[in-house]
């Protein structure tokens, strides 16, 4: 059987190079694959497992989405999640116009109006990766997340050579696993497993149905999850346009500040003018505004 295909359109400009650079730093071996022409990953939806791939098109403002036969029945739901992941529903010129007179970011948005907000295909996976990434580099976080996949991931049924081989571990597996020797401090392991247990038991719903602020407050009520982790999950797990992790070191030390040392409170106050697009401001600052 052949893969099922469809086109996912967007409003230009949109930058494949931005997303390529983002995933080049973060792709999980065995789960995600990245090459010059596209991105592929494993997925599980509605009890079905398989893979999907996006390829940016050169002559059309669209991505080609290919879905394995096993996931074809889930194509509408999967397409919506891929659209969110690659921020295809953003209105870049409208967002850039919001920053036209901003004293800090007007230049950045004028030069790079197509920068989008990369987010995750699976919110639970991204939340786990945010917890794993507390106080370590992106490279170290990928190494730790890869160990979780190698220890607890499920083999993708009918995996073929050259395609993704593993599914990211689910909440019940992570909650009950022996994670000794995984390379994380004991307290962070406890945070990760408590979070996974809350999700597995249904006590924590990873949705924005009640708004991103409600989710962030619920996350902060869990042991070991502070403001940075909660805000980062809202931003990267859901592509929440106004999420802003003001305690992020990369934002506090962005080149735009010319070596000035901002506090999270000062940055949060400065970011008030950027609502309701603070997430896009964060992307510009990380990119090197």
Rounded to whole angstroms, how far apart are CA atoms 133 and 151?
18
The full DSSP string for the chain is: -PPEEEEEE-PSP--HHHHHHHHHHHPPTTTEEEETTEEEEEEEETTEEEEEEEEE-SSSSEEEEEE-GGGGGGHHHHHHHHHHHTTTT--HHHHHHHTTT-TTTHHHHHH-TT------S-HHHHHHHHHHTTTS-HHHHHHHHHHHHHHHPEEPTT--TTS--EEPPPHHHHHH---TTSSS-HHHHHHHHHHHHHHHTTSS----TT-HHHHHHHHHTSTT--HHHHHHHHHHHH--TT---TT-HHHHT-GGGTT----HHHHHHHHGGGTT-HHHHHHHHHHT-
Catalytic entry in 87, 122, 170, 248: 248
Please count the other Cβ atoms lying within 10 Å of the Cβ belonging to residue 178. 8
Rounded to whole angstroms, how far apart are CA atoms 146 and 165?
13
Is 248 tagged catalytic?
yes
91, 87, 114: which is closest to 13 by C-alpha? Answer: 114
Instruction: List CB contacts of 250: < 8 A, sequence separation 6 or more.
Output: 285, 286
Structure tokens at 176: 């009950």
User: What amino acid positions are annotated as catalytic residues?
Assistant: 248
């Amino acid at each position: 059987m052949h893969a099922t295909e469809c086109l996912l359109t967007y409003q230009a400009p949109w930058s494949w190079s931005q997303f390529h650079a983002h995933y080049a730093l973060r792709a999980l071996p065995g789960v995600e694959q990245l090459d010059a022409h596209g991105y592929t990953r494993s997925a599980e939806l509605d009890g079905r497992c398989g893979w999907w791939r996006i390829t940016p098109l050169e002559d059309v403002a669209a991505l080609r989405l290919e879905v394995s036969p096993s996931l074809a029945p889930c194509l509408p739901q999967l397409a919506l999640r891929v659209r969110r992941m690659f921020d295809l529903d953003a209105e870049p010129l409208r967002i850039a116009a919001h920053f036209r007179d901003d004293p800090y970011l007007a230049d950045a948005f004028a030069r790079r109006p197509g920068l989008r907000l990369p987010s995750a295909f699976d919110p639970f996976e991204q939340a786990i990766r945010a917890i794993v990434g507390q106080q370590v580099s992106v490279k170290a976080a990928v190494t730790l997340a890869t160990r979780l996949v190698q220890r607890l991931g499920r083999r993708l049924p009918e995996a073929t050579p050259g395609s993704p081989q593993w599914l990211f571990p689910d909440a019940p597996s992570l909650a009950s696993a022996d994670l000794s020797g995984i390379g994380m401090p004991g307290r962070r392991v406890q945070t990760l497993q408590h979070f996974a247990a809350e999700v597995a038991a249904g006590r924590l719903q990873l949705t924005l149905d009640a708004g991103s602020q409600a989710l962030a407050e619920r996350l902060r009520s869990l042991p070991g999850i502070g403001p940075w982790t909660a805000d980062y999950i809202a931003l990267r797990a859901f592509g929440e346009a106004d999420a802003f992790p003001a305690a992020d070191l990369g934002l506090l030390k962005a080149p735009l500040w010319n070596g000035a040392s901002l506090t999270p409170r000062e940055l949060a106050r400065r970011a008030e003018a950027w609502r309701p697009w603070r997430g896009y401001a964060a992307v510009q600052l990380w990119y090197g505004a």
